[in-house]
Amino acid sequence: RKEVEQDPGPFNVPEGATVAFNCTYSNSASQSFFWYRQDCRKEPKLLMSVYSSGNEDGRFTAQLNRASQYISLLIRDSKLSDSATYLCVVIVEASGGSYIPTFGRGTSLIVHP
Amino acid sequence: NAGVTQTPKFQVLKTGQSMTLQCAQDMNHNSMYWYRQDPGMGLRLIYYSASEGTTDKGEVPNGYNVSRLNKREFSLRLESAAPSQTSVYFCASSKQPRGLAGGEQFFGPGTRLTVL
């Protein structure tokens, strides 16, 4: 079982819709959480860090549920330009005191007119 | 600031050939990473360097070696390329290896490698 799991989608939604993605993680020693966005054939770029209390940035809201070991990303009022793959990243404290980032496989979002 | 740069952008190798992928960052970051991305597999960590002078294996290190040449540069070497190493390779850096403030990773544009 992969340590970080995401529904690959694609999520196909009309402009203006609200869409939510979840990302589950298996390691309770997970320490930091992020959402990245990746456009086709480009490098990933940070979308949001995920704070314990949840955080919002414009149309985007990220939540962390430590008890159930998942993070979520909510996109309101979807735009065509939101079409991309959304990757969740979990940083896990490994043995020896190192910290290892683990990416989910990504969720594909397609926003259509 | 150029951020994270990678060379080359594209490369075609024959099985058994060797090559080194170069990565440099100008953000004074402590931590650097090498990933590979294959269709349907997401990004998988090959090696990382939490700080200058240290390197550690990630999820898929077999067939690769790395060198943290200095704080700026982190290279990835394929000693004897195999078709299974055909992939897109991304280098990344972060201020620190952990934490919301320092754990954000900045990625280079990637190297598209084909091994025939």
CB under 8 Å to B76, separation ≥6 — which residues?
B20, B21, B23, B34, B46, B47, B64, B65, B66, B89, B91
| d(CA A106, nearest CA chain B) in Å | 6
| Contact B43/A at CB under 8 A | yes
Question: pLDDT grade, residue B67 (50/70/90)?
Answer: very high
Q: Between chains, do B104 and A49 touch, taking CB under 8 Å as contact?
A: yes
* Residues of chain B found within 8 Å of residue A89, distances taken between Cβ atoms: 105
- Contact of B45 with chain A, judged by CB distance below 8 Å, is answered with yes
Structure confidence at residue A87 as a pLDDT band (50, 70, 90): very high
Q: Using CB atoms, which residue from A43, A51, A106 is nearest to B90?
A: A43
Q: What is the mean pLDDT of chain A?
A: 93
Give me the pLDDT at residue B2, please: 84
- Please give the single-letter amino acid code of residue B96: Q
Whole-number Å distance between alpha carbons of A91 and B100:
10
- Token couple for A91: 């940083």
Q: What is the mean pLDDT of chain B?
A: 94
B21, pLDDT greater than 70: yes
pLDDT tens, residue by residue, A15-60: 999 999 999 999 888 889 999 999 998 999 999 999 889 999 999 9
Q: Among B13-17, B35-39, B96-100, which stretch is predicted with the lowest mean pLDDT?
A: B96-100
> Is it the case that residue B9 has pLDDT exceeding 90?
yes
Residues of A in contact with B106 (CB under 8 A): 46
Using 50, 70 and 90 to split pLDDT, how confident is the model at A1? low
Asked if residue B83 has a cis previous peptide bond (ω within 30° of 0), the answer is: no
- pLDDT average, residue stretch B89-100: 87
pLDDT at A96: 72
Mean pLDDT, rounded, for B24-47: 93
pLDDT bracket for residue B106 (50, 70, 90)? very high
* pLDDT at res. B96: 81
Which residues touch A93 (CB under 8 Å, ≥6 apart)?
Answer: A29, A30, A31, A99, B98
Q: How confident is the model over B52-69, as a mean pLDDT?
A: 94
Please state, in angstroms and rounded to a whole number, the distance separating the CA atoms of residues B25 and B71. Answer: 8
- pLDDT of B100 higher than 80: no
pLDDT above 80 for B34? yes
